[in-house]
Structure 1
Amino acid sequence: MPAISIDTFFACSLMVILVVSAMASTSKLLYPYLNNGLDENIRERYREISKYMLLNVGEPENWGQNSQVTPETFGLAKAGAFNAYELDVDKVSRLNSENLYALSYADIFLALKMSDVSFRIEIKPIFEVSINLTASFNETDSKIYQFEILTEKHGSRVQANLKCYIIAENYFNITDTVQSSGRTSLNITLSNNVNGPALLIVLAKSIYEQGITSFSAYAFAHNSAEPHPKGTFLKLSPVNYNLTASFLHSEIVLQDAYALTFNYNSSLTQTGNNSQSATYNIPRFLDSSPIIIVVTGQNSTDFFIEWTAYPQIPFRIGADFSNSQTLSNVFSYTYTVSIDSALYQCNIWLGGPNQ
């Protein structure tokens, strides 16, 4: 398909998303052992349950902000929201297992109070950002890294504006906004005086709808060993615009911390610390963008960079229906939801026991 056709298709798709954001698409997952007959009563019941999860605040209504509270009844809606399908940033973040205060599947199952229903919930950006390191070149006193950045939806290119942040030890830099047709080459030059590993963060905002922003990050070696996997040194848990950075190793000394959105950025100041963790306040940016949180430090003599997003997406929690032989009538529902003015895709799968 020509690029212009794909761009036009995507633009029209975004317009439809905004007009029918309160509507869900539904599909039935048909496995070899399932009955092919469509039970309308079950389908409609599950649809109402999926809507209930997103339109109700739960009890207590502020269970997301209170990290020590497990909800008595489950709901992801933001208390006092003006629009349908407006979710609470902390309720969403506490569904991610990376969060120190995450709910378990059992917690949600009990709070949902529907013993005959299994579920899976996924929330993610509406389109994907991929970062690939394609080449590197040594200069006299620096090194150039060449990256390819893709913005795509179901394999089709998405036109977007890109904002890039580069972070290393005692180093922070921001690129100018770049307009991408879906595939862009980006050169990053780092001085030999800079020590890594380094982290490239890309925030991509759709040129058709400013509320749709996606992101990705890529860690790479620079005057350093290869970076460790994300989550090796710190467990980052944002709740109620406070960040808890829990130490996963001894002898950790934290250095810099940042909060980054498409249009704004800020250094973070510690508000507390002990031998096991440190805490920071997270600014409330007026930006239709997820907040990317980055914390750097030393583990003994090794420099490290950890990062997460707020809301803490993407994630998937719940039952794995693909291997189940005890469930029938498994349906999936897709919604467009908003979290702090940014739009995301929410997929909910629901299934019940064989009749």
Structure 2
Amino acid sequence: MEATLEYLAVGLLIIVLVTVSYHMVEAATSTLATTYEEQLYTIAERTMDKIVLTPGYPEDWGTNINVTPDTLQDFGLSLYGTRTPYTVDPDKVMRLANLSTLPNPLLLNTTRLAQLLNLQGYGFRLRIRPMLVVNITVLDYTPINNLKFASKFRVTVSNYYGLGIPNVNVTGMYVILRVQPGTGNQGDLELKTIFTKSNLTDPLGQCILNYTPDLQAYSAGAKLDKWFFAFLIVRAEWQGLVSIAGYATTAQGGVPAQGYIIGNYVFVDKGLNITTVLKKGQNSGAVLVKDELLQAVPEYQELLNFTTVTWCRDATGAFRSNDPLCNNAGKVLPSAQKWYLIGYINYVEPLSSHIFVFAQFRGNPVAIVISRLPNIDIAYGGTGAVPANSVSLRRMCTLYNYPYIVELTIWRRVEGFP
């Protein structure tokens, strides 16, 4: 009997010891996991503050083409010299953009970015998107001078999370420039025509802007010996939030209708031919669209500023290095001489949201749209799923006067994916 009681006592003691040990290990593991999460959160906060509150070094690295990813010493997107926090420099954001049809000649890739942020042991995803995301879909075309110009559009306005927003005030300005061809790729601006349409988005965040009747009436009097450059600017406003989008209406048929502007330099596809449009005797190679566009109706026409573009290509199509600014670009970016058509603008309006460049593609006039407000979605350490043990931070910032969300997600690479 006594032996049985002793065995029972020993058994109970073992059970108690095992239970206590289990809870001690569980508590230690929980404490360690909490510590890991807090450390990761601290790293994410510190990195986010560095991105949106510091300008990097050199401070003008967004516009200075002499600062390449290899020579950039410190990373930060803040607009240098501003006294307003969370003001992001759009020229620095442009260095992170990479169009699928035209690689960025000065792209700051994620590997170099991880080095500058000291995040080689971590994975991260950086997204910079407007609070109002505007997407333009072409529904119909209207022929003008044997070319098809987009004339009917579906405009979708969604929030940062991709949900459509109803009752957004959408205004579109359709611009057509009629040019009298001259010698070579040069012509005289004869007429600037602007059609405006406004609409409200439906419960799905969509609305239609239909310029077909206007373009049909316009094309009835169009002459075959003219050039026509056309583009669309859309402004969306909802409860004080504003977003701008641009579209080149002759972008169908494989036309390379995108490009970059870094500092005063313009980079477009090498397959384009330069076009000079004379306006009141002055050479113009592009139109700058100021951000106040459509806010000053009916004065909006004055917010389209014609500007001169000096191209780094001679009459034979070779890179022209006898100009100091062209020579500088050729030295900094020698490969760009072969892969890009490079030009520079003497003065870029600081508040220009878009630039439309005049060009010819396979003998046809085309407007090349360059947005100075790019959307960024880049990742390092994996582009698929994000590990469960990760930290995401969001900050509301401004690019020019437009509200943007900067989102940073960080995880430890050694923890892998779920």
TM-score by length of 2: 0.62
User: Of Structure 1 and Structure 2, which has the larger fraction of its residues in strand?
Assistant: 1
Q: Which residue of 1 aligns with 2:13?
A: none
**Equivalent AA in structure 2 for residue 279 of structure 1:** Y
Structure 1 residues 57-98: Cα deviation after superposition (integer angstroms, max 9, x where no partner): 112222222112132111111112212111112211111124
Q: Which residue of 1 aligns with 2:304?
A: 265
**Equivalent AA in structure 2 for residue 319 of structure 1:** Y
- Gap runs ≥5 in structure 2: 1-32, 180-190, 277-284, 295-302, 314-318, 320-340
* CA RMSD after TM alignment: 3.6
Matching of residues 307-322 of structure 1 within 5 Å: 307-311=369-373, 313-319=374-380, 321-322=382-383
Q: Which residue of 2 aligns with 1:341?
A: 401
Shift of 1:55: 1.0
**Equivalent AA in structure 1 for residue 379 of structure 2:** G
The answer to whether residue 388 in structure 2 is matched with residue 323 in structure 1 is no
Q: Which residue of 1 aligns with 2:336?
A: none
**Equivalent AA in structure 2 for residue 258 of structure 1:** V
Q: Which residue of 1 aligns with 2:157?
A: 151
Q: Which residue of 2 aligns with 1:4?
A: none
Q: Using a 3 Å threshold, how does the CA distance of structure 1 residues 106 and 117 change in structure 2: closer, same or farther? A: same
Structure 1 residues 18-70: Cα deviation after superposition (integer angstroms, max 9, x where no partner): xxxxxxxxxxxxxxxxx999823312321221222111111222222211213
CA distance in 1: counterparts of 2:388 and 2:157, whole angstroms: 36
Q: Which residue of 1 aligns with 2:11?
A: none
Paired residues of 2:229 and 2:358 also in contact (CA < 8 A): no
Q: Which residue of 2 aligns with 1:106?
A: 111
CA distance in 1: counterparts of 2:381 and 2:192, whole angstroms: 41
Shift of 1:285: 5.4
SS of 1:175's partner is strand
The answer to whether residue 217 in structure 2 is matched with residue 217 in structure 1 is no
SS of 1:119's partner is strand
Paired residues of 1:58 and 1:74 also in contact (CA < 8 A): yes
Q: Which residue of 2 aligns with 1:236?
A: 259
SS of 2:175's partner is strand
Q: Which residue of 2 aligns with 1:162?
A: 171
Aligned residues: 305
Shift of 1:229: 4.7
SS of 1:157's partner is coil
TM-score by length of 1: 0.72
Paired residues of 1:165 and 1:172 also in contact (CA < 8 A): no
Q: Using a 3 Å threshold, how does the CA distance of structure 1 residues 277 and 138 change in structure 2: closer, same or farther? A: closer
SS of 1:101's partner is coil
CA distance in 1: counterparts of 2:51 and 2:83, whole angstroms: 17
Paired residues of 2:288 and 2:349 also in contact (CA < 8 A): no
User: Of Structure 1 and Structure 2, which has the larger fraction of its residues in helix?
Assistant: 2
Paired residues of 1:159 and 1:206 also in contact (CA < 8 A): yes
CA distance in 1: counterparts of 2:143 and 2:360, whole angstroms: 27
**Equivalent AA in structure 1 for residue 155 of structure 2:** I
**Equivalent AA in structure 2 for residue 145 of structure 1:** S
Paired residues of 2:138 and 2:151 also in contact (CA < 8 A): yes
Q: Which residue of 1 aligns with 2:208?
A: 185
Matching of residues 60-139 of structure 1 within 5 Å: 60-69=58-67, 70=69, 71-98=72-99, 99-135=104-140
The answer to whether residue 193 in structure 2 is matched with residue 173 in structure 1 is yes
- Gap runs ≥5 in structure 1: 1-34
CA distance in 2: counterparts of 1:335 and 1:50, whole angstroms: 8
Q: 2:343 aligns with which of 278, 300, 303?
A: 278
SS of 2:60's partner is coil
